[in-house]
């Protein structure tokens, strides 16, 4: 059973990770005069070196090589490589959109993405959907349908994000690729592409000529590494439902940054009705995840009440154990009393038969 300390630490690290990921959204502005495409290329490059450092520190190279040895045949290798262009395109639009006035549209894509994943899970993996999840999907769908009916379209950047990630995760799940293995493989495959792109579009020359890029580009790698590390720590300390709920913080941060820092107008990305429906859907999703977490916590408390309470102070542990012991004694006493009543009843019946 997860302790209170573990849950608190996991929550703090998850919030910090989502905030750092959101900060990367603004790096396109800080790294000017680099273009959005050049910033995306530099992010892949710095992410690669950061992840190599992280994997080396965590000593995960053997796990990566062990998984790669399991891939047999052309079909499996093709399925393994196929998602890489999808991730590259998503990294590109994440860094390109804020510089080119589409930050709010991309943010809406990140709001819709978890709901698209739920629909994918329902129809591709026959996973059950709760009533709250159905309500969230209907609310978001109504908002999008209204904008399509009212304006004839929805931003391509929004669709690019919310419809782009599901195929990536479907392909990764088909081969059960571990997250670190998949990410570092993607970056290795993207590395030649971004090096060629930076060479031909002048990305190296601009970086060398601009003094601020000498420290901002390494900072881009440091933030990427910190965000990935905190995400891994949070995923280990938190239940899946609570971890999933906190992941909604990233699009919320992106939305705030788009309005407050990128100076985007709400009407630039869609109608107020669509925003309202998507936010209602988001709140429903958070409520559904929170209820799932509370239900799991209650089950843990019922089934794991006698496990050692690591992380709590000894006096509190002794008090809790004493209270649990008292509950168990009372429960046994009630069962003994119940059985004794049955025995007494049967004894009276036997005595009555003897008297006849």
123-127 own/partner pairs: CB under 8 Å, 24+ apart: 124/170
What would the two tokens of residue 54 be?
Answer: 């992280």
Are the C-beta atoms of residues 39 and 51 closer than 8 Å to each other?
A: no
Burial 204-235 (b: 16+ CB within 10 A, else e): eebbeeeeebeebbeebbebbbbbbbbbbbbb
Are the C-beta atoms of residues 172 and 182 closer than 8 Å to each other?
A: yes
What would the two tokens of residue 266 be?
Answer: 């709400």
What global pTM score does this model have? 0.71
Are the C-beta atoms of residues 247 and 115 closer than 8 Å to each other?
A: no
User: What do you get for the CA distance between the two ends of the chain, in Å?
Assistant: 59
pLDDT (0 to 100) of residue 319: 44
Helices first, then strands: H and E counts in the chain: 17, 0
C-alpha dist (Å) from residue 38 to 34, 153, 237: 6, 29, 36
What DSSP assignment string belongs to 121-135? HHHHS-----HHHHH
- The answer for residues whose C-beta is within 8 angstroms of residue 50's C-beta and 6 or more apart is 221, 222, 224, 225, 228
Helix (H, G, I), strand (E, B) or coil at 115: helix
CB atoms inside a 10 Å sphere around CB 289: 23
What would the two tokens of residue 82 be?
Answer: 């196929």
pLDDT (0 to 100) of residue 328: 60
- Write out the chain's pLDDT in tens, 356 residues: 445 567 777 788 888 888 988 888 888 888 888 888 898 899 899 889 888 888 898 888 998 998 898 888 899 999 999 999 998 999 999 889 888 888 888 888 887 887 787 777 777 777 777 788 788 888 888 887 877 777 667 788 888 988 888 888 888 888 888 888 888 999 999 999 999 999 998 888 988 888 888 888 888 888 887 887 787 677 667 765 566 667 778 888 888 888 888 776 666 656 678 778 878 887 887 787 777 767 766 766 655 444 444 433 444 444 445 555 555 665 666 677 777 778 878 888 787 777 66
CA gap 135, 137 in Å, rounded:
6
- The answer for residues whose C-beta is within 8 angstroms of residue 324's C-beta and 6 or more apart is 305, 306
Where residue 251 falls (left for φ over 0; alpha for ψ -120 to 50; beta otherwise) is alpha
pLDDT (0 to 100) of residue 269: 59
Helix (H) / strand (E) element for 190: namely helix 179-200
Helix (H) / strand (E) element for 255: namely helix 249-260
Are the C-beta atoms of residues 146 and 153 closer than 8 Å to each other?
A: no
């Amino acid at each position: 059973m997860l302790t209170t300390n573990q849950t608190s630490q996991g929550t703090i690290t998850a919030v910090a990770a989502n905030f750092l990921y959101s900060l990367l959204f603004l790096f396109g502005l800080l790294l000017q005069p680099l273009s959005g495409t050049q910033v995306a290329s530099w992010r892949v490059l710095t992410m690669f070196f950061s992840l190599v450092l992280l994997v080396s520190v965590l000593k995960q190279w053997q796990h990566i090589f062990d998984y790669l040895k399991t891939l047999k045949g052309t079909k499996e290798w093709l399925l393994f490589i196929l998602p890489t262009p999808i991730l590259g395109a998503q990294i590109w639009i994440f860094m390109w959109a804020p510089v080119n006035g589409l930050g709010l549209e991309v943010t809406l894509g990140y709001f819709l993405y978890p709901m698209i994943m739920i629909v994918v899970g329902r129809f591709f993996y026959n996973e059950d959907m709760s009533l709250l999840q159905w309500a969230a999907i209907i609310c978001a769908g109504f908002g999008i349908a209204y904008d399509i009916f009212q304006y004839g379209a929805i931003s391509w950047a929004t669709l690019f994000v919310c419809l782009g990630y599901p195929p990536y995760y479907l392909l990764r799940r088909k081969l059960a690729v571990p997250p670190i293995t998949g990410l570092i493989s993607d970056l290795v495959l993207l590395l030649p592409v971004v090096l060629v792109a930076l060479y031909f579009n002048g990305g190296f020359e601009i970086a060398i000529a601009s003094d601020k890029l000498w420290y901002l580009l390494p900072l881009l790698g440091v933030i990427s590494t910190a965000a990935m590390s905190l995400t891994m720590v949070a995923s280990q300390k938190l239940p899946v439902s609570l971890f999933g709920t906190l992941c909604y913080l990233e699009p919320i941060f992106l939305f705030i940054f788009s309005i407050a820092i990128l100076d985007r107008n709400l009407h630039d990305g869609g109608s107020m009705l669509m925003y309202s429906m998507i936010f209602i859907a988001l709140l429903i999703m958070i409520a559904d995840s929170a209820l799932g977490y509370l239900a799991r916590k209650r089950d843990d408390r019922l089934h794991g009440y006698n496990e050692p309470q690591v992380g709590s102070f000894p006096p509190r542990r002794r008090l809790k154990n004493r209270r649990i012991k008292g509950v168990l004694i009372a429960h046994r006493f009630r069962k003994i009393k119940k059985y004794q009543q049955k025995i007494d009843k049967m004894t009276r019946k036997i005595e009555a038969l003897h008297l006849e």
